[in-house]
Amino acid sequence: MTDIFISYSRNDQECGSKLAAVLGAQGYRVWWDISGLLAGHDFQRTISAVLDEAHCVIVVWSENSVTSRWVRAEAIRGDERGVLVPLRVDGAIIPLPFNILHTEDLRDWEGDEGNTGFQKLLSAVAQYTEPSLLKEAKRKAAKICLDECATCLETDYPTKLAVQPSVRLKFVYPSSPALIIENDSPALARDIKWAVVLWNRDLPDRDDPLPIPVSTFDWLKPHQEGGAQGLFGGALVLPLVNNGDRLVGTATVDCPECDRRRNYIVSITYGEGGWFAEVPTPGLVLPRNFTKATREQYFAIIESLAPVENRRNIDYPY
């Protein structure tokens, strides 16, 4: 599995090489086309496959890359998946819609790991993935721990305990909601997948939900929670919401070893707040006849699944 995919212009190969080398030295598995493409490879298929599996996509904006269709396409895919980390290496004008995203400034970076911009880049990457070498070291240490002490609880591999993990969602930050994944069990939860499907009721001509990508979380230790996962910061989502817009829909979270999938109803007034509620339904399916004429009826139905007494206000996490 690739930790980081680097999207850049071939004319900036020296910069791409330097970035790949320094990130690799941090323990990340880095893919960039110079080292990742071998003779005989179908480059389009290979790039597409790695781009879809990478935990994080770094796009290097420069005078060369802003005119590259390949770089733009890779950046769009990274943003759709919610794993894009943009940086700039010169004064190029970043193209729409990516110019609305915070972009790390590495214009003065010479490969120094202590550079302020590079440290900020590492912090941004850490939101999406941990260095593979560090993960492997933890797993080896956990295995040793289990071999030596079957009751050890400080381990990432509680496989000898017959307990299934259980993960939940909570929504935080009223003005621009994000979600937090909670593991409320004594077992490690791995390969957690969450999805949020929201429609903007104040965009009546848009039949599709907001393009919030389905996302994954590598793992959560017992009785811990992950960092806040933004929902509306993507370049494809942000232009579709304004303060006061009414958003309604559903959310789910699950993992392969979890006791069950959890489903939620979510209602948000963007910029003001909202509520969410876990519901015991086995699945929340969009009806086949979902049209402009029936959408309000559908929204009323899903909201009715969440009794008022079960609704939790979207609040600050502290």
Q: What confidence tier does 38 reach under pLDDT thresholds 50, 70, 90?
A: very low
Nearest-angstrom CA–CA distance, 94 and 71: 12
pLDDT at 182: 93
The full DSSP string for 111-152 is: S-TT-HHHHHHHHHHHTT---HHHHHHHHHHHHHHHHH-TT-
Mean pLDDT computed over 106-131: 86
In the chain, list all ranges with CATH 2.60.40. Answer: 163-313
Q: At 267, list the tokens.
A: 């209602």
What does residue 58 show for φ and ψ, rounded to 5 degrees?
A: -95, 125
- Give residue 145's pLDDT: 47
Mean pLDDT within 41-52:
75
- Residue whose tokens read 């080398």: 21
Quote the pTM value: 0.53
Where in the chain do CATH 3.40.50.10140 domains reside? 4-126
Average pLDDT over every residue of 119-134: 81
If pLDDT is split at 50, 70 and 90, which confidence band does 85 have? very high
CA atoms 218, 241, 67, 91: torsion sign:
negative
162 or 129, which is more confident: 129
Q: Write the pLDDT tens digit of every residue in 261-282.
A: 899 999 999 999 999 999 876 5
Q: What is the pLDDT of residue 219?
A: 85
pLDDT at 152: 43
Residue 311 is predicted with a pLDDT of 94
How far apart, in whole angstroms, are the C-alpha atoms of residue 310 and residue 81? 31
Which tens digits make up the pLDDT trace of 167-200?
999 999 998 899 999 999 888 888 999 989 899 9
**Nearest in space to 290 (alpha carbons), one of 233, 208, 222, 195:** 208
List, in order, residues 6 or more apart from 124 with CB less than 8 Å away.
85, 104
CATH (residue range 163-313)? 2.60.40
Residue 289 banded pLDDT, cuts 50, 70, 90: low
Q: How far is CA 4 from the centre of its chain?
A: 13
Distance CA 201, CA 46 (A): 39
What confidence category does residue 161 fall into, taking pLDDT thresholds of 50, 70 and 90?
very low
Summarize the confidence of residues 75-80 as an average pLDDT. Answer: 91
Q: Which residues, 6+ apart, have CB-to-CB distance to 190 below 8 Å?
A: 165, 218, 219, 255, 256, 257
Q: What would the two tokens of residue 291 be?
A: 């049209």
**CATH: 3.40.50.10140, 3.40.50.300, 3.40.630.30, 2.40.70.10. Which one for 4-126?**
3.40.50.10140
145-149, 213-217, 256-260: lowest mean pLDDT where? 145-149
Higher per-residue confidence, 91 vs 283: 91
Query: What was the pLDDT predicted at 96?
Result: 87
* Listed range (123-132, 145-154, 196-205) with the worst mean pLDDT: 145-154
Q: Which two tokens stand for residue 91?
A: 């004064």
State the average pLDDT over residues 162-166: 79
The tens digit of pLDDT for each residue in 223-251 reads 998 888 888 877 888 889 999 999 998 89
Q: What is the mean pLDDT of the chain?
A: 82
**Band of the pLDDT at 36, cuts 50, 70, 90?**
very low
| pLDDT value of residue 236 | 84
Please give the share of the chain, as a percent, with pLDDT higher than 90: 32
pLDDT band at 60, cuts 50/70/90? very high
